Amino acid sequence: MSIEAQSARSFAALSRADLATLVPELLLCGQLIDRSGMAHLIVEFGRSGMAQVAIEEWQAASPWYTRRMQRALRYEGDDVVTIFKGLQLDIGAPPQFMDFRYRVDDPQHGEFWLDHCGALMDVEPLGDEYVTAMCHDIEDPTFDATALATNPHAQVRPIHRPPRRPADRHPHCAWTVIIDEAHVPPTMQPHTEQVGRSAAYTVELSPIDAAGEGNHDYAGPLLSDVRFQDFSQSALVRIAEEVCLQQHLLALGFLIAVRKRVDEDKAREITRKQLTGIAGVTAQRIRDALGLPDDLEGLAAVLSVHPLVNPTQYVDSEIRFGGGRLQLRVGRRGPVDIDGGWPTLIDGEHLEALQALVRGVNPRFTVRVLDEDPAGLLLAVDVTDEPAPECVEVAITKVSTGAAFEFEDRGIPLPLYVV
């Protein structure tokens, strides 16, 4: 990756090839947000309480970010194909790690199945109760909430699902999607309505320029896999911004759900732990995926595309790099500050998430407050003599098999037509 133009605007500074590498990483890291947060919820609320928070956060976020991606890539519709395209660009279903396969019978009927479910691999060792919580209690209402964004009469129902019987059953699960006017639409929950009123849902991101090589939308047939290198550079910029925004919307849903159950101080404590874990793992995966060095210049490049401070239209931040010095300003005047999202959890007394982020690039990095006032927080990144130990929140997130997952090139995808 070229890191010469760190003053350029976020994702637009990246090449088409680097963006195609980065987008699936961002989708996977979005899925790992739950791996980062769920352990802390189990401590506070137990398994059933954790499951209920997960249901509410995904119900709150997924309909809105699904609609945003439909509009951005011009595949709006009300059929099964539209639902399946949305799943391919959803942080809840990152490619290959959650290996969704699809069949379309007609515009109102289809099936999908998971040849590999990374989330199942994470929870199966915990026993059938945790598998049932994820694959039954959480999936039933959240799949329908995602389908709701496309057609209120869509229902997603299992053909089979874990706990697996026999233990090596494959595919891991299979589901039908049926659109029928007789289906009673699910009721939109208050937490979903609340996120729909957020600044995140309405923020304007980079328009897709129809010039240049590659696909500018996903308006054609459903493909067996989304191959991101087939999109144009401009389309990939927009997709990357949307995926970062998906993460922010999910974090808002998480915070809303947690706030129902504990006081504000405890809610912020839990959400800071969630943010700390995912910030560190995401920084490390971005560094490795883009082949960046572990010096300050590499960290500046990671920061320029890290979801904590992106998209720039939503998060008020500035990276200042030059003369061997790196500073980060976290402002307080962006739409994310209206929503009370991730960056509002960071202040001079709560730097854990930023410490995890910079140490995800190099464990010898540390952040130091230069100035703090109502307009924002200014930090310097220093280099210490000794590496810091990995923090507990990052170690918990790395328990997921997704933390070390490697993507592969699957070649040219096939269009999927009605069978």
Nearest to 222 by CA among 366, 99, 23, 88: 88
Q: Characterize 193-202 residue by residue with b for buried, 16 or more Cβ atoms within 10 angstroms of its Cβ, and e for exposed.
A: eebbebbbbe
Alpha-helical segments (H) within 73-198: 80-88, 118-123, 128-132, 139-148, 190-196
Q: What pLDDT, on the 0 to 100 scale, is given for residue 9?
A: 63
> pLDDT by residue (tens digit) across 223-278?
999 999 999 999 999 999 999 999 999 999 999 999 999 999 999 999 999 999 99
User: Given this model, what pLDDT does residue 3 score?
Assistant: 37
Q: How far apart are CA 165 and CA 81, in angstroms?
A: 30
Residue 282, C-beta contacts closer than 8 angstroms, at least 6 positions apart: 29, 32, 306, 307, 308, 357, 360
What order do you get walking across the sheet with 98-106 strand by strand?
98-106, 109-117, 173-179, 154-160
Dist CA 91 CA 173 (whole Å) = 19
In a domain, 306, yes or no: no
User: Looking at residue 148, what is its pLDDT?
Assistant: 84
| Nearest CA-CA partner of 407 in 21, 4, 7, 59 | 21
With left for phi above 0 and alpha for psi between -120 and 50, is residue 340 left, alpha or beta?
A: left
Q: What is the pTM of this model?
A: 0.96
Q: Is residue 328 part of a domain?
A: no
Structural domains counted in the chain:
1
> Is 218 contained in some domain?
yes
Other CB atoms within 10 A of residue 224 CB: 15
Report residues of the chain scoring pLDDT below 70.
1-9, 419
**pLDDT, position 7:** 41
Q: At CA 326, angle to CA 322 and CA 330, rounded to 5?
A: 125
The whole-number pLDDT of residue 1 equals 42
Q: Is the residue at 263 inside a domain? A: no
Residue 397 included in any domain: no
Q: Is residue 44 in a domain?
A: yes
Range of the domain at 106: 14-244+405-416
- Would you say 334 and 315 are in contact if contact means Cβ atoms under 8 Å apart? yes
Residue 8 counted as domain residue: no
DSSP letter string, 166-217 = STT-SSSEEEEEEE-TTSPPPPPPHHHHHHHTSHHHH---PPPPS-SSSBS-
In a domain, 219, yes or no: yes
